[in-house]
Chain A
Amino acid sequence: MSARAETATVGAARGAGRSRQLAEAIFRFRELGIVLALGLVVGVTTIHNSNFLSSTSIQQLLSGAAIIAMLAIGETIVIITRNVDLSIGSILGISAYAVGVTFENHPHIWIPFVFLIGLAIGVACGIVNGAITTIARVPSLVVTLGTLYVIRGIDARWAGGHQVGAASLPNSFTNIGYGTFLGIPYLGYAAIVAVAIATYAMRTFRTSRDFYAIGSNPDAARLAGIPVDRRLFLAFVLSGGIAGVAGAFWLSLYGSVDAIAGQGYEFQVIAAVVVGGVAIFGGSGTVLGAALGALLLNTIDSALVVLNVSSSWSSAIAGALLLGAIALDRLVSVRIAPALRTGTRRSTRG
């Protein structure tokens, strides 16, 4: 796809020689690559079917991507600390159901309040994840795999076979999911604002730099006096809280909820995060990249529908893209390593 352009960027960076430009290029090149890939997918699909960019399909695409992008913010923070949160799909599901049930029982409830309910449920789940991971020192992969099933189980037990239908939801609420401004759905704006805030915060605050430090070298983080456990706890609470709020947004978009809402979202989100250039072993990556990854994967999904490719192919293609992204990362880091070493030698001799 955009491999050629990406190689060119790397080549240019290496030619420039300075390690700083190099480092910046690595970050930029990933996001640039996704944007290029995105343009390519949209372009090719539009040529085949000019309706692809018609307002309804774009809106659906952006709304779906917005939910994944929001979840990706929290997941990115967790993965940057060299952990993983597999429970976000279940958290989204139980939060969406809780919001739906709230509307059934209190049809005239103040809308922002249901988002607070979602937030509270998500934070509670995040507290459980964070507490078990940091206090019992169990790897988060196992902890959140456990809570994935536990939360989903509670959700299923609570919901039974019940479904909250669109009729129970006030229009002012579903309007959040359906409404648009200048052709872009409200959810898209919400995601853009959230990603912008998170991107800024991840660069700007000591706490967020601690996340990177912990993921880059956990032992060194302890020696440097970083309160590692507190930071990890916070990362899980953030991830859970975001997933809880995303549950409310999810319900506003889809209009009905039962016990299987959000099932499998965790893997879509992790795929988006990795495609977006966040290192799966922590330490590097950006929220912006992860959000772009979400947008790219969702666009490919929609494009395949428009191109009349069987839906079973779309997951295979998403998977192949994931592998390609990882392979590309390896390639780049292998290529970059000697350049960084030369940079060192130069500086020692100075």
Chain B
Amino acid sequence: MSGAAATEPLLVLEHATKSFGAVHALEDGFIELYPGEVHGLVGENGAGKSTLVKILAGVHRPDTGRLLIDGTEAIFDNAKQSQHAGIAIIFQEPTLFPDLSVAENIFIGSQPLKAGHRIDHRKMRRDTAELFDRLGVRMDPDRPARGLSIADQQLVEIAKALTADARVIVMDEPTAALTISEVARLFGITRTLRDHGAAVLFVSHRLEEIFDLCQRVTVMRDGRHVLTKPIEELTTASIIRAMVGRDMDALFPKENAERGGPVLRVERLTREGVFTDVSFDVHAGEIVALAGLVGAGRSEVARAIFGIDKADAGAVSVHGRRLRNGSPTGAMRAGVGLVPEDRRQQGLIMDLSIQGNIALASLGRVQKAGLIPFGAERRFASDWVTRLQLKYGKLTNPAWTLSGGNQQKVVLAKWLARRPTVLIVDEPTRGIDVGTKAEVHRLLSDLAGQGVAVLMISSELPEVLGMADRIIVLFEGRITGEFARGQVDEDGIMRAATGTLEEQAA
């Protein structure tokens, strides 16, 4: 392994600033990448990581500051120039062309040519197959990108980076939507790239991944560089301290609440080909976690409970009253709220104002004679934004102006405003910085304390172990384990989530 850093940095960005109107996204950005290292970049949401990545990508031009590549100054006006400098970016949300073939996606703009500037389709296909061989992936170069899993889409992006002979590879939260085995594969590939002398900038919220993969770490806070250190000199606690600027001891503060009677009862719920025979209760004052790998059917169970998808068999009842199958309105009337996994697409209307989003699920209470009185939304929302300590400019700003964590708070506020008896939260802290994460956790804990039955879906095992009173594990659409708090560790959950628990028992 070439863990030792070379003497000359491949890329240096220093004193970079970038403002969007009045918002200072980056005030003093600094990053230094050496060949043969995986460099972690961490920071809370809004710390300026994405802006920094986009400067390297050539998407944004810094207002001030210098970018040095191999010691010579470079300025990127567009993505093409960044690519020519040998920088490849794997964005958080893959950026493929669904209608084009996998091979075309990899070679777009740099297709192999034959005489007369014609694309050599055969060579392109062959080169793609070779790349996939190198990556140890089996994928048909001719299949369209439409329908690829996120993990496979990222592999296509990595293959793209390889064709460009990229010397600097930036991965912006690549693992957010991957299963454990997919993460392992990605890490293997990343290490290979590093060993071949590439510099990898690895942006992640998951500190355990940073410790697993990176040789050096840069921490950012409020648009500024805080520290860059070798990983040996850091601990989880010291990184978090640098990120939030204070000590964070209680990450998962679920407090014991009085457990009431069963509120939500799910009986033998089945949706063919998706999940089978799922039964459980959630009591008042309880947080029940639904754990399992991505694709195990957790979100689908939540969708069926809330009535977005129709169940083929089984029943859901709240306080003993059966919910109508396939009716979100019925579920809402019964006091169920759902905070979906994908807040941008499903949780929020991004162009609608903050206040509009918060009042959206409670318009029945805001309206007078079918109209929404002037200022009524604002009055309704302002109470909730103080309670949830939302960081915002104006309540009339569109929701997209908020950081990820604050967007999640708005989604929560929307449902809390309805005073739900059952709240389903799907990946409530995905892509949220550590500080806001703790606030969301405290909020969920408070809600349980007030007697709300909370059903939480989460892929983060520390969160599951810390927050849940009971843990239900799904594997391929079936319940493969149910544990009380303290009865199980990460290992036990993973065994159930990979289906190995049952085999051992058998």
Contacts and interface: CB of A to CB of B under 8 A. Distances in A.
B144 interface: yes
Contact of B143 (A223, A343, A345): A343
B97 A225 contact: no
A337 B144 CA distance: 11
A231 to B, nearest CB: 11
B157 to A, nearest CB: 10
A279 interface: yes
B100 A209 contact: yes
Contacts of B78: 225, 227
B146 A347 contact: no
B497 interface: no
A283 B97 contact: yes
Contacts of A341: 147, 149
B100 A213 contact: yes
B498 interface: no
Contacts of A22: 143
A217 B95 contact: yes
B79 A18 contact: no
Given A204-B119, A224-B108, A225-B78, A212 B143 contact: no
A340 B144 contact: yes
Nearest to A20: B142
A161 B101 CA distance: 53
Contacts of B104: 209, 213
B119 A209 contact: yes
A210 B110 CA distance: 11
A113 interface: no
A23 B142 contact: yes
A279 B99 contact: yes
A39 B193 CA distance: 56
B211 interface: no
Contacts of A337: 146-147
B140 A209 contact: no
Contact of A217 (B96, B119, B149, B152): B96
A286 to B, nearest CB: 12
Nearest to A19: B143
Nearest to B132: A347
Contact of A223 (B57, B138, B140): B57
Interface in B217-261: none
Contacts of B182: 348
A135 B37 CA distance: 42
A205 B99 contact: no
B98 interface: yes
Contact of A18 (B89, B97, B138, B140): B140
Contacts of B108: 209-210, 213, 224, 226
Contact of B109 (A210, A216, A279): A210
A94 B446 CA distance: 71
Contact of B98 (A206, A216, A348): A216
B400 interface: no
Contacts of A350: 137-138
A212 B99 contact: yes
B97 A217 contact: yes
Interface of B: 57-59, 78-83, 89, 91, 95-101, 104, 108-109, 111, 113, 117-119, 121, 137-140, 142-144, 146-149, 151-152, 182
Top 6 closest pairs, chain A to chain B, by CB:
A340-B147, A350-B138, A225-B80, A220-B95, A19-B143, A283-B99
